[in-house]
């Protein structure tokens, strides 16, 4: 990964992004933060519905159909803005424990969200039966907590030294 990260930093797109980094990186990070707000807001609305604390005037299907496009649209936005930040600063991002831990959580969180939103073919009948089960509610809470961990890990990318010897960044600099 080290040699790939160093090679990527010598490419012309990486160089071009760094030439404009004074406005490009803060701009892209700001869009990334807006994406976080959309994902967390939508997940929270679905979680409140599953727990029966809000939106109970709508079926679970109506709630998920309303928020699912925002979640997956924003995840797409995170991927694009994330790739721009990686290409601009590949050594900072790819030689980083927090970054890879975050990507593992993004994969698990996205899979769980997809199971919730698209996993049940005839959802209407099954869900109104499932939604009252403790396991179903617990899985919804776990999914939300996973995305909270993604936020913390995203912020820790800039402070990777806190992982001590786990942080490859320490050996690098
Ligand atoms: C889908 C794939 C994603 C990729 C490739 C990605 C990549 C990145 C990268 C490269 C950074 C910059 C870190 C730095 O240089 O300091 C970052 C920051 C961050 N990311 Fe992501 N990210 C993704 C998804 C997400 C998601 C889903 C969330 C939360 C729901 C998230 C939350 C954050 C946070 C909180 C930061 C720190 C922002 C800041 O300090 O300005 N990311 N991400």
- pLDDT at res. 128: 62
Residue 13: domain span: 2-172
Nearest CA to ligand 1 atom 22: 82
Ligand 1 atom nearest to 39, measured from its CA = 30
- pLDDT at res. 127: 63
Question: Around Cβ 22, how many Cβ atoms within 10 Å?
Answer: 9
Q: Are 42 and 112 in contact (CB under 8 A)?
A: no
Ligand 1 atom nearest to 151, measured from its CA = 35
Would residue 133 be called left, alpha or beta, if left means φ above 0 and alpha means ψ between -120 and 50 degrees?
beta
Question: Cα-flanking dihedrals φ and ψ of residue 133, to 5°?
Answer: -80, 140
In whole angstroms, give the CA distance from residue 156 to residue 158: 5
Q: Which of 21, 30, 78, 111 is the best mutation target for the ligand 1 pocket, counting ligand atoms within 8 Å of the beta carbon and taking the most? A: 78
pTM over 0.85? The answer is yes
Q: Are 14 and 8 in contact (CB under 8 A)?
A: yes
CA of 7 to the centre of ligand 1 (A): 22
Q: Are 43 and 147 in contact (CB under 8 A)?
A: yes
The structural domain count of the chain equals 1
Nearest CA to ligand 1 atom 12: 85
pLDDT mean values, one per 10 residues, the chain (173 residues): 95 95 95 98 94 89 90 97 97 96 97 81 61 83 97 96 86 55
Nearest CA to ligand 1 atom 40: 155
Burial of 88 (0-12, 13-18, 19+ CB in 10 A): buried
Nearest CA to ligand 1 atom 38: 155
- pLDDT at res. 118: 76
């Amino acid at each position: 990964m080290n040699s790939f990260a160093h090679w990527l930093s010598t490419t012309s797109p990486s160089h071009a992004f760094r030439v404009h980094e004074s406005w490009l990186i803060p701009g892209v990070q700001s869009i990334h933060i807006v994406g976080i707000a959309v994902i967390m807001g939508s997940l929270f609305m679905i979680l409140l519905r599953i727990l029966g604390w809000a939106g109970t005037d709508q079926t679970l299907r109506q709630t998920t159909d309303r928020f699912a496009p925002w979640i997956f649209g924003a995840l797409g936005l995170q991927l694009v803005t994330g790739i721009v930040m990686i290409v601009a600063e590949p050594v900072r991002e790819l030689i980083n424990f927090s970054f890879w831990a975050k990507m593992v959580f993004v994969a698990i969180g996205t899979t769980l969200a997809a199971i919730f939103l698209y996993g049940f073919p005839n959802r209407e009948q099954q869900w109104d039966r499932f939604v009252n089960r403790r396991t179903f509610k617990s899985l919804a809470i776990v999914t939300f907590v996973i995305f909270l961990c993604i936020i913390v890990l995203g912020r820790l990318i800039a402070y990777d030294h806190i992982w001590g010897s786990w942080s490859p960044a320490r050996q690098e600099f």
